């Protein structure tokens, strides 16, 4: 096994790193004191700066967006200047396809291998070690990395060359976004027409209208809890990527465009800190209803 490092101990990265640590030694870069104490207790080597993983020859990243990924790799004291030729960087973040290609090209010129391996499954599956990994990179590199991916994932797919992992993740995310926008539109409609929210949610999640989005968001919407998923303001990058690819390729995506408008309306309404279930709030306000459980205070 390679000398392994991990940068990005957020909602997804912390449990992923903890799972790797169960299988082999790991150096983590931890900024917050609570993270430092937690990973010391788990047995990790803890650094407070990127330079702490300079001796590693395999570094995993799990960061919030493409700009942060580029800063960590190419910024002052970035990985590109610290790691030796022959090292590998695995980016499990969700970032733009074109940016991924550019990062790979720049690292190749320095003799550092790179693959994109975004993950799907949200925090609960990260904690359970049952994520899905979509990997883009050379086949031989994918084969070498599979034992590491298996620490935190139970579905590991090689999607093709560098960038293919990000494209696969984007397709999945856009479908998820469309489902969330559809819930935001139809659930208030149900209440406006006089249907009971609890029973409507039960019908959706036991019928043909169910989806992962409905199974995750409907119970939380009924409780008025919009804090369980990724904030909309941070996740909006996926819709930007979808629109860019649609425009560049000349491929019409009318359903995605409509879902994006719902998303944008929620952001303009000031709901960006809420998860995607929060898209419902501005529509509820327009219709003068709320899709809430009667056990939680009743629907308007």
By annotation, the residues acting in catalysis are: 169
Cα–chain-centroid distance for residue 183? 20
Q: Are 5 and 56 in contact (CB under 8 A)?
A: yes
**Do the bridges between strand 153-160 and strand 58-61 make them parallel or antiparallel, or are there none, so unpaired?**
unpaired
Q: Are 80 and 108 in contact (CB under 8 A)?
A: no
Give which of 20, 25, 22 is closest to 61, Cα–Cα: 20
Distance separating alpha carbons of residues 134 and 142, to the nearest angstrom: 10
SS3 for 268?
helix
The helix (H) or strand (E) run that includes residue 134 is: strand 131-136
Distance separating alpha carbons of residues 13 and 53, to the nearest angstrom: 16
Q: Are 88 and 111 in contact (CB under 8 A)?
A: no
What does the DSSP assignment read for 29-92?
E--SHHHHHHHHHHT-EEESSGGGGTT-SEEEE--SSHHHHHHHHHSTT-HHHHSPTT-EEEE-
Distance separating alpha carbons of residues 67 and 113, to the nearest angstrom: 19
Distance separating alpha carbons of residues 25 and 57, to the nearest angstrom: 13
Q: Are 31 and 24 in contact (CB under 8 A)?
A: no
């Amino acid at each position: 096994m390679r000398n392994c490092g991990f940068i990005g101990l957020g909602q997804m990265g912390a449990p992923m790193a903890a799972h790797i640590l169960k299988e082999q030694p790991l150096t983590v870069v931890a900024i917050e004191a609570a993270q430092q104490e937690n990973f010391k207790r788990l047995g990790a080597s803890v650094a407070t700066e990127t330079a702490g993983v300079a001796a590693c020859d395999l570094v995993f990243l799990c960061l919030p967006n493409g700009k942060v990924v580029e800063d960590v790799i190419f910024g002052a004291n970035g990985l590109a200047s610290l790691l030796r030729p022959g090292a590998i960087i695995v980016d499990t973040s969700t970032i733009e396809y074109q940016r991924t290609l550019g990062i790979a090209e720049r690292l190749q010129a320095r003799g550092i291998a790179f693959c994109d391996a975004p993950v799907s499954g949200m925090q609960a599956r990260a904690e359970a070690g049952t994520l899905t990994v979509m990997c883009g990179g050379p086949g031989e590199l994918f084969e070498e990395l599979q034992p590491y991916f298996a620490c935190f994932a139970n579905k590991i797919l090689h999607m093709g060359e560098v960038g293919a992992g990000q494209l696969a993740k984007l397709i999945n995310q856009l479908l998820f976004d469309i489902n969330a926008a559809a819930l935001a539109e139809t659930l208030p409609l149900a209440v406006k027409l006089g249907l009971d929210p609890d029973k409507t949610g039960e019908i959706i999640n036991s019928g043909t209208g169910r989806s992962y989005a409905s199974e995750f968001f409907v119970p939380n919407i009924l409780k008025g809890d919009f804090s369980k998923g990724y904030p909309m303001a941070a996740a909006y990058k996926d819709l930007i990527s979808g629109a860019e690819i649609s425009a560049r390729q000349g491929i019409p995506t009318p359903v995605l465009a409509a879902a994006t408008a719902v998303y944008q309306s929620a952001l303009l309404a000031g709901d960006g800190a809420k998860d995607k279930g929060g898209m419902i709030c501005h529509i509820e306000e327009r219709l003068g209803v709320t899709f809430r459980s009667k056990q939680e205070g009743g629907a308007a």
